[in-house]
Structure formats: C-alpha cells, structure tokens
C-alpha cells in the first residue's frame, strides 16, 4: 500500500469521479459509502478527503462550474456551445439543479452563500457571449437579467428517471423559450 | 373541552389552514409541532388527524388541486384565470412545487404515484380551457404536451425568500414563454 501524496491525489480524483456518477444515478441522498465503493477506496480514505456530504457536493459543483467557465473561455466559444455544456450539467447532476434553487428558505446560510457565488460565476460565463455582444445595447440589461431566470426554468423542466429523458425535456424547454442550444456534452479540453 | 364530531372537524380545518401557512413560510421541513401550535390544538389532536408529515402534505396538495379544478369548472372560467390560480399555489406552497418534481429518482413510489395522479388532474383542468378549444386542431397535441412542461419551467423559476418575490419571478417566466396569466390569487367560491 502506498500512502504517498501521488496515491492521495489519485484517490481524490477517483472519489470525485465516483461522486459525479453516483449523484447522477441516485441523486444527492446517495450514501457516501456508495461513493467510496464505486471509487474502489476505503471509507477511511473517503473521510480523509471529504469530512461530510457537503464537502463532496461542493467539489462536484466546483468542477461543473469550472467546465462551464472553460467552455466560455475556449478559443471557439459561443453562446450556444456554453448553453450545451450547461445543459449537460443540468441533466447529469442533481446537485447542480439543487444549487440553482439555493435561495429557498430551508438551505443553510453558508451553503446558500457558496451556491450564490457559483451561480454568479455561471452567469458571468454566459454574459461573456450573450448574443448582442458586450458593447452598450438597449436590449442588453433585460437579456442579462433574463438569462439566469431562463436557466432556472430549464432546470425546472429537466426532470425524469434517466439522463436522456432529462435532456429531451431540457431541450424542449429551451425551444419553448426560443433559445438555440449547441451539442449537449461535458467540456473537454 | 368538547371532543364531539363538530369540534374534531373544526380542529382538522384549523390544522389544514395552519399547515398551508407554515409550509408557505418555512417549507416542507417545518416540524409538525409548529403546525399544531399555529392551529391552537394539542399534539394529540394533530396525530389523531394526521399520523405523519406525508398525511399533512397530501391534504394540502389535495386542497390546492381542488382549487385549480374549481377554477376550471367555474361559470366564467378561462385559461388565463386558471393559470392565475395555479401560479398562486406555485408561489404560495413549497409542497406544490415539490410534487411537480415527483418523477425524480429519490421519491418513494407510493408518493410518486399520488403526485402523478394530482399532476394529471391539474393537466386535465388546464386542457379544458386551452386556447384553440376542444375541437380537432393541428396545433393542439403539441400545445397539450407543452403545457405541463411550461408549468414545470415556471415552478423552476418561482424561487425566492418571499411569496412576492416568487410571484414576480413566476410572472416573468410566463412572460418569457409568451403566455398570458390572469390575477394571481387563490380560488374563492
């Protein structure tokens, strides 16, 4: 057994990947033990990296938001493409939808503050490429206000037992809003 | 103390009214004891009428759906008016939004079946007055499919710390969908 730093980094990456899968399949209520089992690491290792469920969820959300930001800063970035990556996370990750509803009363204040910060990063990534461009534009403020409301609307529609069904409903929701969306996929460098 | 049937009916009505208020203010996680306190009845009386939280929620949902059905069968019923009553419940009752998301994996099968039945009743109430009317209409099947997706989208938008804020966001969401909505209010006979 190698407990050195390289092994620790490998275990952590395996745990994050497993958490993404488990949460996509079973939702946020899935037990942490299922994540350790999927990652092929011991419970001890899990708790060393992630003291509780909130810590795991925070890492998965951070990774989702980072992918959206990368899609927004890629050389060939366009609004439709970023929406495609966003829609992937909406349909793949129950955690991602839960954080979009963070302004509801029952959420803990610290979790809520973190969720609002993440939502702000998603909003800024989208606004970089909002059709109409960055220069002053009479329609711009309204459109900027509306984009996160539209994302919340699509997240409300993205329900269903399978990712495919959630994607079908999300794309129909974007269509009802008259918004074009690029390929629905994770961002890959 | 009068424990006769009339007193029991009064206690039950007081408990349902209190449950609606408490859930609107604090969400579904509010403790049952808060409902008993608000209704001014003892815990024993609460548990006699409602053995557990699910029983309370079921009664509140039933009452919401019944109001929407009454709005749809009223003499002067119109699509905009029914949507106004629906939107009232979306913004007033966290329980109502939760049941619209019932097809998510983590929900118990019996709760899910009940939620689907309630959603079906809401859909039928809306379809009675869908613009385009009941006769055969080429646009009709698509519109019928879309209406519950649109409701899910508006429920996704109807977040915020106060009912007023949730109403503001819900009405903006209907506007983005190009759907006209009547006065947002409960149905009163």
Test the A interface: residue of B93, B105, B158, B161 with most A CBs within 10 Å: B105
Give the residue ranges of chain A where pLDDT is below 70: 1-4, 94-96, 98-108, 132-143
- pLDDT of amino acid B101: 64
Last residue of a domain, one of B31, B51, B71: B51
> In this structure, are A76 and A98 located in the same domain?
yes
Q: For residue A187, give both structure tokens.
A: 């961002």
Which residues are within 8 A (CB) of B20 and not within 5 positions of it... i.e. 6 or more apart?
B60, B63, B92, B93
CA triple B90-B91-B96, angle to 5 deg: 35
> In this structure, are B106 and B41 located in the same domain?
no
CB of B132 within 8 A of CB of B143? yes
Give which of A140, A146, A156, A134 is closest to A178, Cα–Cα: A146
pLDDT in tens, A90-107: 988 766 676 666 555 445
> In this structure, are A45 and A101 located in the same domain?
no
Structural domain containing residue B22: 1-51
> In this structure, are A68 and A35 located in the same domain?
no
> In this structure, are B100 and B160 located in the same domain?
yes
What residues of chain A have any CB closer than 8 angstroms to a CB in chain B? 25-29, 94, 100-101, 103-106, 146, 149-150, 152-157, 159-161, 169, 172-173, 176-177
Structural domains of chain A, count: 2
CA distances from A40 to A29, A50, A53, B35, B164 (A): 20, 15, 18, 46, 48
Residue B126 lies in a domain: yes
Q: Smallest CA–CA separation between B116 and chain A, in Å?
A: 12
> In this structure, are A75 and A164 located in the same domain?
yes
Contact A149 B157 (CB under 8 A): yes
> In this structure, are A9 and A76 located in the same domain?
no
Return the half-sphere exposure (C-beta side, CA atoms, 13 A cut-off) of residue A126.
24
Contact B157 A159 (CB under 8 A): no
- pLDDT of amino acid A93: 76
> In this structure, are B73 and B137 located in the same domain?
yes
C-alpha–C-alpha distance, residues A12 and A40, integer Å: 11
Residue B118 lies in a domain: yes
| Chain B residues near residue A150 by CB distance under 8 angstroms | 176
> In this structure, are A135 and A108 located in the same domain?
yes
| Chain B residues near residue A105 by CB distance under 8 angstroms | 25-27, 161
Return the half-sphere exposure (C-beta side, CA atoms, 13 A cut-off) of residue A76.
5
Residue B131 lies in a domain: yes
> In this structure, are B4 and B65 located in the same domain?
no
Contact A103 B159 (CB under 8 A): yes
Q: Is B39 exposed, middle or buried (0-12, 13-18, 19+ CB in 10 A)?
A: buried
What residues of chain B have any CB closer than 8 angstroms to a CB in chain A? 25-29, 94, 100-101, 103-106, 146, 149-150, 152-157, 159-161, 169, 172-173, 176-177
Task: Please give chain B's pLDDT, 189 residues, in tens.
Answer: 556 677 888 888 899 889 988 887 777 778 899 999 999 999 898 999 998 887 888 888 888 899 999 999 999 899 999 999 999 999 887 666 766 665 554 456 777 777 788 888 999 999 988 876 554 444 445 567 789 899 999 998 998 878 898 999 999 999 999 999 999 999 987
B115-146 in b/e burial notation, b at 16+ Cβ within 10 A? beebbeebeebbbebbeeeeeeeeebeeeeeb
> In this structure, are A157 and A171 located in the same domain?
yes
- pLDDT of amino acid A74: 92
CB of B105 within 8 A of CB of A27? yes
Q: For residue B86, give both structure tokens.
A: 């629906």
C-alpha–C-alpha distance, residues A178 and A83, integer Å: 13
Which residues are within 8 A (CB) of B82 and not within 5 positions of it... i.e. 6 or more apart?
B68, B71, B72, B125, B126, B129, B182
Residue B30 lies in a domain: yes
- pLDDT of amino acid B98: 65
Contact A153 B153 (CB under 8 A): yes
Residue B180 lies in a domain: yes
Q: Is B25 exposed, middle or buried (0-12, 13-18, 19+ CB in 10 A)?
A: middle
Contact A103 B161 (CB under 8 A): yes
In this complex, the residue of A154, A157, A161 whose CB is nearest that of residue B105 is: A161
Residue B56 lies in a domain: no
CATH number of the CATH domain containing A11: 1.10.10
Contact B155 A150 (CB under 8 A): no
Q: Is A21 exposed, middle or buried (0-12, 13-18, 19+ CB in 10 A)?
A: middle
> In this structure, are B94 and B171 located in the same domain?
yes
Q: Is B10 exposed, middle or buried (0-12, 13-18, 19+ CB in 10 A)?
A: middle
């Amino acid at each position: 057994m190698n407990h050195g730093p390289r092994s620790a980094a490998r275990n952590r990456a395996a745990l994050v990947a497993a958490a993404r899968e488990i949460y996509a399949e079973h939702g946020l209520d899935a037990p942490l033990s299922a994540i350790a089992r999927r990652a092929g690491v011991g419970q001890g290792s899990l708790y060393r990296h992630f003291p509780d469920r909130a810590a795991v969820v925070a890492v998965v959300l951070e990774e989702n938001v980072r992918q959206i930001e990368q899609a927004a800063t890629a050389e060939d970035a366009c609004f439709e493409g970023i929406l495609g990556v966003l829609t992937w996370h909406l349909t793949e990750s129950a955690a991602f939808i839960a954080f979009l509803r963070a302004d509801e009363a029952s959420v803990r204040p610290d979790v809520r503050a973190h969720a609002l910060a993440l939502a702000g990063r998603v909003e800024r990534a989208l606004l970089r490429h909002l059709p109409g461009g960055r220069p002053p534009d009479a329609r711009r403020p309204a459109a900027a206000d509306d984009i996160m409301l539209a994302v919340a609307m699509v997240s409300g529609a993205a329900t269903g037992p399978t990712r495919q069904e959630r994607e079908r409903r999300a794309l129909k929701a974007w269509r009802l809003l008259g918004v074009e969306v690029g390929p629905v996929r994770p961002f890959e460098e």
